[in-house]
Structure 1
Amino acid sequence: MSRRLVIFGAGGHAKVVVDAIVQQGDSVAGVFDGDAGRHGQEWFGYTVLGGLDAMIDFAASEGVDAVVVAIGDNRIRSMMGARIAERGLRFDSVVHPRAVVSPSARIGAGCVVMAGAVINADAVIGEHAIINTCASVDHDCWVAEGAHIGPGARLCGGVKVGRRVLFGAGAVAIPGFSVGDDAIVPAGGVVRGDVPARTRHPDKIRSSQSNEGE
């Protein structure tokens, strides 16, 4: 059965979310955004209907199934997810039909999994995380709520990614290491050791440990 979803966010990332929603056979019942300057404006074939309060009223009157926070910024997406949850709305995940997700993987509410992404056995993806285009999350990985695994990024087996981490496009994490909350791994970076929480723009992280198999 198809779902009627509303999205909060009307930027570039939200366009890809809309495409994924439509491709999986669901519909976008309404688009909302926190920027008052966008309210009433046409965006990607939809009219931006208002902000948070308007979305709450719309969801109550129109009987929508769930909300997706379609904002690329990890902190803002997590914050808006918490605010919307406080207002009693539910979230659901969006998984593009050309993504590959293991039956044993767990996908949290509000997650978005883009085209070409692969999520392998026993991986866990937290709420409001983004697994972007052609990213791969291998077996036994754990991606916390609000994290973003960028386009073409690779998490090898058993990697742990903390809350609101930005793991950049094309970056790679070698098996078994951890990336702490709010850290940033730059595009093309190679994680060969644990990355401390709140580390900004680290160089390639290296370790004397050798577990580059798998």
Structure 2
Amino acid sequence: MSSSLIKPLLIIGGGGHASVLVDILRAQGREVLAVVCPDDISMRRVFSGIRHLTKDDDVLAFSPDDVLLVNGIGMLPASGLKRTLNQYYLSHHYQFETVIAESAQVSPFANVEVGAQIFAGAIVQAGAQIGAHSVINSGAVIEHDCSIGHYNHIAPRATLCGQVITQD
């Protein structure tokens, strides 16, 4: 597949966080090939018409050259599941898509690393750095010159004033 084409997506996880991501991606006209989740996802209408895979290794049937992954595992306190799954798939040469909702305001002078997710109504100001695989949740504000580490999850409507630095 040519690198200039937009690749279809596989969503890891089938809970609330994944459903918000699929909603964003469908609104953007992105092709979602499957949702990977061991649980029943039929009660979430946003997944209607999308193939349901139940095992993490089902992803391996897709070539890393032909798809991008989106990690839809939400914030689970004291759990490393999101990072563990990412590392597993990265070790198999898969790449993660960066997802930015159309209603998010991201300065062209901000830096958003691969795999980050910026939800509806979020604001990321000039000079801000958003680390790989971090989530800036709905309505959150990341002011100027903040540096958000990798795998951070900024809560909905949280405000980080200028020059806040978080760790990975």
TM-score, structure 2 as length reference: 0.85
1:127 aligns with 2:132: yes
Residue 50 of structure 1 corresponds to which residue in structure 2?
Answer: 54
> C-alpha separation between the residues in 2 aligned to 1:71 and 1:99?
20
Distance verdict in 2 for CA 1:62–1:91, change over 3 Å: closer
Shift of 1:30: 1.1
Residue 162 of structure 1 corresponds to which residue in structure 2?
Answer: 167
Letter in 2 for 1:143: I
Distance verdict in 2 for CA 1:84–1:61, change over 3 Å: closer
Shift of 1:131: 0.4
Letter in 1 for 2:85: M
Residue 5 of structure 1 corresponds to which residue in structure 2?
Answer: 9
TM-score, structure 1 as length reference: 0.68
1:21 aligns with 2:19: no
1:17-50 Cα deviation digits (max 9, x unpaired): 10111122312111112x3x44xx6353134213
Residues matched between the structures, number: 157
Shift of 1:133: 0.4
Secondary structure, aligned partner of 2:63: helix
Gaps (5+ residues) in structure 1? 164-214
Letter in 1 for 2:18: A
Letter in 1 for 2:34: G
Gaps (5+ residues) in structure 2? none
> C-alpha separation between the residues in 1 aligned to 2:73 and 2:64?
24
1:131-155 Cα deviation digits (max 9, x unpaired): 0001010111111111101110000
Shift of 1:69: 0.6
Contact 1:2-1:25 at 8 Å conserved across structures:
no
1:144 to 143, 149, 153: 149
Shift of 1:53: 1.3
Residue 92 of structure 1 corresponds to which residue in structure 2?
Answer: 97
**Higher Rg of the two aligned structures:** 1
Q: Which has the higher contact order (CA 8 A, sep 6+)?
A: 2
Contact 1:24-1:95 at 8 Å conserved across structures:
no
Distance verdict in 2 for CA 1:60–1:2, change over 3 Å: closer
Identical residues among aligned pairs (%)? 32
1:60 to 59, 63, 66: 63
- Aligned-residue CA RMSD in angstroms? 1.9
> C-alpha separation between the residues in 2 aligned to 1:47 and 1:26?
15
